Amino acid sequence: MTTENREQIAHATELLADARQIVVLTGAGVSAESGVPTFRGERGLWRSYRPEELATPEAFQRDPALVWAWYQWRRGLIAQCAPNPGHHALARLALQRDGVTLVTQNVDGLHHRAAREEASRLGSAGPEPAFPLEVHGAIHRDRCSGCSRLTEAIPGDDPGPPGCATCAAQLRPDVVWFGEALDPDVIGAAQQAALGADVCLVAGTSALVYPAAGLPELTLQAGGTVVEVNLDATPLTARATVSLHGPSGELLPLILGA
């Protein structure tokens, strides 16, 4: 590691240690080292698949079996992945400090799994940690496209979406598709946290998809600072006080002292 990197890491650590309120925004990059494919970039999902054929309400109407099969494939893949040291460092931060709000665009549930593992390691007897705010939903849940009832998804190779046990309408993954609105309560809570944060720690996101990408902007507008962790530069990099380039599974434990 270069001296400059060490200084940048120390600066990030200091900003986070001094912050009273921290909001963390994560994207697909934090799960890349766990083996979950990202969306953009050389090996991203959107290189091989077209979002409009798989991740829109129109696509589901046109060909529910195709969309269902793609999500079942992703569910199978995610089921074989485990949280990495980046997820664990963030889980410890949120469990051990007050004033931390973790917001993720990821639907893979790995932050939750890391939180459960850390909570049991720390011996906390309380209920399951109620984070992160999953602004794009959760792939391990199904939602009825008729009555909106939520159920735990059952992995398998069924030929198409099963019917809801209550109203018989088709089940769909409980994720946000292109052209759909985010849950106003969830994104609203994330925006409040971003506005009140002294530091917004942004990790592993291309910072391109709004409204999630607007969260660091809210922190900046309110006078806070941004610390970014990413393999590459993003549209946010120029406005970050500290921008660390490298794998989040290595950098997050370093800056969080975990």
Catalytic positions, written as ranges: 136
What are the phi and psi torsion angles at 149 (to 5°)?
Answer: -60, 140
Stretch that binds ligand OAD, among 27-35, 66-74, 138-146, 184-192 (CB under 6 A): 27-35
Q: Could you check whether the bond before residue 211 is cis, i.e. omega within 30 degrees of 0?
A: yes
What's the min distance (Å) between Cβ of 153 and ligand OAD? 16
Nearer to ligand OAD among residue 185 and residue 232 (C-beta): 232
Residue in 83, 173, 224, 247 binding ligand OAD, rule: CB under 6 A = 247
Which listed residue (72, 105, 225, 243) binds ligand OAD by CB under 6 A?
105
- Contacts with 257 (C-beta within 8 Å, 6 or more apart), sequence order: 13
77 contacts ligand OAD (rule: CB under 6 A): no
39 contributes a contact to ligand OAD by CB under 6 A: yes
Q: How far is the CB of 45 from ligand OAD (least distance, A)?
A: 8
Query: 202 with 227: CB under 8 angstroms?
Result: yes
Single out the residue of 136, 161, 218, 240 in contact with ligand OAD (rule: CB under 6 A). 136
- Copy the structure tokens of residue 245: 């380039």
- 230 near ligand OAD, judged by CB under 6 A: yes
Report the C-alpha gap between 76 and 73 in whole angstroms. 5
Sequence-separated contacts (24+) of 59-62 with Cβ below 8 Å: 59/177, 60/145, 60/172, 60/177
Say how far apart CA 204 and CA 15 lie, in whole Å. Answer: 19
Q: Give the number of residues in contact with ligand OAD, rule: CB under 6 A.
A: 25
Nearer residue to ligand OAD within complex by CB, 119 or 212: 212
Told to check if 29 binds ligand OAD by CB under 6 A, we report yes
Helix (H) or strand (E) holding 25: strand 22-26
Tokens of 153: 């998804």
Closest separation between CB of residue 165 and ligand OAD, Å? 26
253, two tokens: 């434990």
220: nearest Cα among 257, 203, 195: 195
Q: Where along the sequence are the contacts to ligand OAD (CB under 6 A)? A: 27-29, 32-33, 38-41, 44, 55, 105, 136, 176, 204-206, 209, 229-232, 234, 247-248
